[in-house]
Chain A
């Protein structure tokens, strides 16, 4: 489905953010990318969604190389990034240019329903809480029915309760259409709660350090022993002590 092949990224400033990163994500799989800050995981996601070009290597979707943003990819950024002058409904419709009007309304209503914001469809972004705004961003990404959903630390700016709610919410959405999901997080709990696989990135420039299939049964209790054992193992991989 999604294949990242020996991708490296070197910025104009001379900093090398990524080196030789290869990764495959199967159809409908949820993959969490974890790593300490500065290991290039967000850079990798920007390359996958076509916003930045890799210096070396390539990204393929079903054997088509990604060179610019593509319609089969939906993106959720760390911040909601809503257009402040558009209502929730019009923000969700933002990516539907070229669709017939009636189809736009239908798809937007469906996506807004998925994130449970029907009552707020005519509100402006300034009237929304952080969690609601991020749900609108998720709806905007889902509205084009992308095969691949990329999420860059989507819940990191939210408070702990909202974060837990939205994680469950995202899983509920995933269960319906089963898009392929690749998300970046620095929260190991979040990665364990959501992922079929966890890829640990490390170093500067960043490389893939470990790639674990997470076989925990769903829904995942965050408190159980197996969950905690995974957490210890991954935190160990991140090697927080020698960071610097």
Chain B
């Protein structure tokens, strides 16, 4: 009963293990992508340095990149810098995990159960329309000026994008796949685990990613509000003491850590959702094949 079939597509060979895995960018394509991304930042950096060296930009407004680097390296040598970085990372991660965990529970409930949605969603949407920074005075009043109020503020920022993406993700799962689950008599938690959760993973990851971005935004807000340590504190301290070097250094560190955590999340995420038949996956595979 063997049926003649077309030769297997070449890309099959890459998925020999049972675990779905994204076709990773090949070495050449990856180097090319990173290299191209660096070209413009490097040119700007060189221009900036040159402009400072020839005295085109006054150093009390915008110090040269090498001067910024020296300043930060000095702070790193005394260990002071790592203390600031450490506390900021701690706040972002604590807030991110708290906010994401709460959003995962709430979003699963409102996505899966219509009663929960009708009961809870209007309230959550109402809170969402409060600008998150408006909570600051209340949190400080309730939770004090120290870590708890900062972490809570970040968690609130992270909560909404994760919640919204998860809820709408669950609601938009293909009815046809859910029916397959029903044919095999899956319901409740089994249906959630075997059909709804995996199908929702792509939009859940989008939510986590924008949540993480907001987490970084809110950590600055929290630290500007009152802190004695952290990258946000360095910004404020630089302003109050008229030193642009730590300000620019902190901004660059925010950019680096923000990008780094995003890349980690995306890399982990892509491994989990490599099964998607998307335009992006297809164009990347095509590009790899071409190299």
Contacts and interface: CB of A to CB of B under 8 A. Distances in A.
B158 to A, nearest CB: 25
B11 interface: yes
Interface in A99-127: 114, 116, 119-120, 122-127
A51 interface: yes
B118 interface: no
Given A87-B18, A97-B190, A124 B275 contact: yes
B184 A85 contact: no
Nearest to B6: A129
Interface residues of B, number: 33
Contacts of B11: 127
A94 interface: yes
Contacts of B275: 84-86, 124-126
B123 interface: no
A75 interface: yes
Nearest to B178: A81
Interface string B178-209: 01101111100010001100110100000000
B21 to A, nearest CB: 9
B122 interface: no
A94 B180 contact: yes
Contact of B16 (A85, A95, A122, A135): A122
Contacts of A155: none
A119 B8 contact: yes
- Residue of A77, A90, A127 contacting most chain B CB atoms (<10 Å): A127
Contacts of A79: 176
A83 B177 contact: yes
B3 interface: yes
Contacts of A94: 180, 184, 194
A90 B18 contact: yes
A233 to B, nearest CB: 31
A124 B184 contact: no
Contacts of A132: 5
A97 B186 contact: yes
B276 interface: yes
Given A85-B275, A116-B3, A132-B5, A95 B15 contact: no
Nearest to B174: A81
Contacts of B15: 87, 122-124, 127
A68 interface: yes
Given A75-B183, A126-B275, A81 B20 contact: no
Nearest to B4: A165
B12 interface: yes
Nearest to A73: B183
A69 interface: yes
A126 B2 CA distance: 22
Given A116-B1, A172-B1, A126 B185 contact: no
A173 to B, nearest CB: 7
Interface string A17-32: 0000000000000000
B176 A85 contact: no
A200 interface: no
Given A84-B276, A116-B1, A116-B5, A69 B198 contact: no
Contacts of B186: 97
Contact of A85 (B12, B179, B198): B198
Nearest to B187: A68
B3 A51 contact: no
Contact of B182 (A69, A83, A90, A126): A69
B241 interface: no
Interface in A49-81: 49-51, 68-69, 71, 73, 75, 77, 79, 81
Given A85-B198, A165-B3, A49 B8 contact: no
Interface in B1-30: 1-3, 5-6, 8-9, 11-12, 15-18, 20
A178 interface: no
Nearest to A141: B183
A96 B201 CA distance: 23
10 contacts: A83-B198, A85-B198, A86-B20, A114-B1, A122-B15, A124-B15, A125-B275, A165-B3, A169-B1, A172-B1
Interface of B: 1-3, 5-6, 8-9, 11-12, 15-18, 20, 176-177, 179-180, 182-186, 190, 194-195, 198-199, 201, 273, 275-277
